[in-house]
Amino acid sequence: MTSTTLVTLLAAVVAYVLKVLLDFHSAVRSIRNHPGTRTVIDALSPIGMMVVTPIPVLAHGNQRSWKYKHAEYAELGYDILSSVAAFPRVNTDIFVADAAVIKEITTNRSRFPKPVDIYKVISFFGDNIVGTEGDEWKRFRKIIAPSFSERNNRLVWDGTVKIMNDLFEAVWGSKEEVTVDNSTDLTIPIALFIIGVAGFGRSMSWTDDVNPSSDHTMPFKDALHIASSGVFAKAATPNWLLNLAPTEHLREVKTAYPELHQYMTEMVQARRTAEKKVEQHDLFTSLLDANEDEDDGQAKLADSELLGNIFIFLLAGHETTAHTLCFTFGLLALYQEQQEKLYQQIRSVIPEGRIPSALILGRSVFYETLRLFPPVAGVPKTVAEDTALVTADSFGNKVTVPVLQGTSLVLNIAALHYNPRYWDDPHAFKPERFHGDWPRDAFLPFSGGARSCLGRRWFFETEGIAIMTMLVSRYKIEVKEEAEFAGETFAERKERVLRSKRGVTTTPVRMPLVFKRR
């Protein structure tokens, strides 16, 4: 390399660094140096999302919201924090834990749209309601929303009762105690079987559907489960590497997606060509019927869009239900007095031996679990026009944060749910906080506004409470005693049992429980 070339290269590097520094300074000034982090790597960039743990100066860390919850906001004295980063481009992100500001954002979709590009990676089967905005989103919602009907909720309830009774009778039988080393091994199949029945009209049980049909290499329930649990692997793995399938997990993921696509395509064709239409209320059939009944030809969903939306509801319903149930069982095992209160409430409403038929039990327990372990710690938004967000500091003084067009916003659900402005003793498990009046704008486990989860009633008010009610009415839940943890304190046990990691939703690491017949 000649000296001239070297000088030219160094000059280019210096010019680039100076430009980045000037742009960085300008970005900080544009938000009036509002408190927050200043890092090299942008928190919401693809590279930044790969950095799990916060690294001072270098990276914000994609687990920061869950790791610190509201602690940073309390320390700095604001419920809005900023993050300015230099690479891969100078960018500003705003993280919000103020309930009033979040409500403003979720109710003004034109000013604060969803960044749909980041959701394209889960459009494996076709475009869907999660990854769209504007008129396309309205078209999807118009056809999809009616599918979540009272008849479908009834199917969810009846299917849940059948699946739980099958567990008690065919699997657990006369056992006085059932030990589960990791409770997701219990909650995942429960959620899977229910979404099979209520989502696809496919009856599945603990012993059925163990072999694939002659046209398939994988049973339906395996394809369903692996496609759901393997979504990160599918999204993050390049096709060339997935085709090589160097690990057993990737081999299963590689097989599961085309298998599930084939299953769903066969179901569409079978229901369209059936000589006699059978009245069914599963989500898949309801969506097909709603699409066929749509008068506006332009509004109908293409087959790929039908499959894309069904997969999204599979992903949300399966993971959210399984993991929230697991956290619920863990909390009840740790807090025996709360479990006893719930059991006595169940006994007072449902006589012993009867199948539950009401949906009023355990609501506060489930809400408190969702507050402590929201399925998603942060919800991204973008800013469509220059605007300002108004919050207050810890002394009650009004603070205005300028936000420029193109800025990324994150609704920090974890920080909101642990914000002491709204929740007394926020780290404690207190289901009674949901009795009477409570701060509804500060509780967003399913997001908020028009873009909140369409299936939240299916998941929470029907399936989740039915499972919890039936199980607690028959079994007492306890933490499994293990010799290596014999000397731990309650705080240490709580931290160990409720440990979580990042997944499609907040995921328990390992929750060893014992279910003792009452």
Q: Please give the annotated binding residues for heme, written as ranges.
A: 453
Show the DSSP H helices in 359-464 as ranges.
363-372, 413-417, 456
The kind and range of the H/E element at 242 are helix 239-244
Return phi, psi of residue 112, to 5°: -130, 70
Reduced to 3 states, what is the DSSP secondary structure of residue 92? strand
What single string gives the DSSP state of each residue in 42-83?
-TTSHHHHH--S-BTTTB--TTHHHHHTTHHHHHHTBSEEEE
Reduced to 3 states, what is the DSSP secondary structure of residue 191? helix
| Integer Cα distance of 269 and 322 in angstroms | 30
Report yes or no: 43 and 53 within 8 Å, Cβ to Cβ.
no
Tell me the sheet residues that pair with 177. 516
The closest of 409, 416, 323 to 69, measured between CA atoms, is 416
Q: Which residues are annotated as a binding site?
A: 453
| Integer Cα distance of 261 and 429 in angstroms | 41
The closest of 300, 267, 269, 297 to 143, measured between CA atoms, is 300
| Integer Cα distance of 305 and 76 in angstroms | 45
For 29, residues 6+ apart whose C-beta sits below 8 A from its C-beta are: none
Q: C-alpha angle with apex 198: 196 to 201, nearest 5 degrees? A: 65
Buried-state track 393-412, b at ≥16 Cβ within 10 A, e below 16 = eeeeeebebebeeebbbbbb
The closest of 132, 129, 133, 452 to 308, measured between CA atoms, is 129
3-state helix, strand, coil in the chain (%, to 5): 55, 15, 35
Quote the tokens at residue 49: 């999302």
| Integer Cα distance of 257 and 152 in angstroms | 26
The closest of 108, 156, 170 to 281, measured between CA atoms, is 156
The closest of 221, 436, 185 to 314, measured between CA atoms, is 221
